Amino acid sequence: MKFSKALCALAIILASCSPEQDPENLSVDTVIQLPKPTGPYAIASRLYTLVDKSREEIATEQIGDNRQINVHVWYPTSDKEGEQSQYFQKPNLYADAWGAEAAEQLTRVRTNSKDNLSLIPNKKFPVLLYSHGWQSMVEGQTIFLENLASHGVIVIAVNHPYLGLLPGKDDTLIPPRDDFFTSPTHGSEYYSKDQQFALKTVCSSDLFDGDADCSNLFVAGHSSGFGAAALTCTNNTETLGCINIDAPLNPFLKDYIRVPSLLWINTERAGDAPQDISAKEIRKFTDLTLGHNAISDWAYLDSVDNKEPLSRPLPQDKIIEQIMLFIKQTH
C-alpha cells in the first residue's frame, strides 16, 4: 500500500489532496537516514509536554480539561555522545489514519539529532518559534527544522492539537478541526497563545541555563500556522522578525501585524506580499517551483522509496538560505 494513497484518503475528509504533500510509502525493509544537515553544528533535541493551567481546552466539553501541547526543540550542541532522537514518538497511532504499513515506516526513519544533550554554552543563539500548518505536525518537517538548528538556531516548534494531526492525551490520534472557533481571528489567537506559552516555559527551563537569549526572537509559521505567528510577532515586543512560509495573508490579519521586519516566502499560495502591512521592512522570496509543502519530509522519503534519493540542494535548502540571511541581516 502506498503512503500517498493513505494520506489522500484522509485528506478527502479533512482537506485537499495535492501531489506535493503526499509521499509514496517506503519499503518495509528499508532503514531511512534523513539527509545530513548543511550547517556546522551538531544537533540535539528535547521534547516537552506542557499543560497550560490558565486555559481550558475549548475543543472539548470536559470541565477542567486544560490545554496541553507538545513542543519539540532542536538546538546546537557540542556533545558527541547520546541516544539518537526518535522520528515520530508514537508512530503506531498513525496506523488508523495512514495504514499499518505507513505507520511502520515511521519507525524506520533515522534522524540527525540526539536526545537531551547540552546546549553549546556562552553563545547567544537566535531563537525561532515555529508553528506548522493545517493537518501537519512538526515531526514531519524534521529535515527542515534540524537543518535550521545546524546553522546555529534554537528551534522551538509547537505541535498544535486540532490544527495538526496529532496524538492526544489518551493516546488516540486527534484530527484537525476548527468548528469550535467563532472566527478566523479566534483560531489564530488560540494558537498564538500556544506559541507564547511554549516560549515562556521552554526559555525558563533548565535546558538553557541562561544560555538562551529568548529576546533574540524570530517567529515563523507555515501555511495556516502563520496566523498564530503573525499575532505572536505583534504581541511580543521582543520579536525581531516574523517569517511567513507560504501563507496567503487573510484580510483580518492586516489589522494585527505590527512587526519590525517580515520575511515573505511565496512558494505556491502566498502570492505577493501586501503593501499595507505595518512592518518597517518586508523582504520577499518567490520560487513557484518549490510547492506549498516544500518544507515537509515527504518528498525525500518518497525519493528513497523509489531508490533515487534526492541530493542537495533539497527544496528545504532554498528556504533555509533565505531564513538564515533574514536572521543574520535583522539580528
Look up residue 314 and give its DSSP letter. P
Cα–Cα distances (Å) from 112 to 26, 42, 50, 146, 320, in that order, read 19, 8, 25, 7, 17
- CATH number assigned to the domain comprising residue 117: 3.40.50.1820
Q: Residue 252: which pLDDT band, with cuts at 50, 70 and 90?
A: low
Structural domain includes residue 104: no
Structural domain includes residue 97: no
CB 247 within 8 A of CB 222: yes
Structural domain span for residue 254: 37-89+112-291+311-330
Q: How far apart are CA 261 and CA 124, in angstroms?
A: 20
Cα–Cα distances (Å) from 284 to 6, 35, 265, 275, 323, in that order, read 35, 27, 6, 11, 11
pLDDT at residue 18, as a whole number: 36
Whole-model pTM?
0.90
Structural domain includes residue 147: yes
Tell me: pLDDT of 213 over 80: no
Structural domain includes residue 51: yes
Structural domain includes residue 145: yes
CB 113 within 8 A of CB 85: yes
Structural domain includes residue 53: yes
Structural domain includes residue 3: no
Q: How far apart are CA 225 and CA 219, in angstroms?
A: 11
The top-scoring range by mean pLDDT among 159-168, 253-262, 266-275 is 159-168
Q: How many domains does the chain have?
A: 1
Q: How far apart are CA 71 and CA 204, in angstroms?
A: 14
The pLDDT tens digits for 133-145 are 999 999 999 999 9
The pLDDT tens digits for 179-207 are 999 988 899 999 999 999 999 999 988 87
Structural domain includes residue 95: no
Q: What is the overall mean pLDDT for the chain?
A: 86
Buried b (16+ CB within 10 A) or exposed e, 245-283: bbbebeeebeebbbbebbbbbbbbebeebeeebebeebb
Q: How far apart are CA 133 and CA 164, in angstroms?
A: 7
pLDDT at residue 234, as a whole number: 87
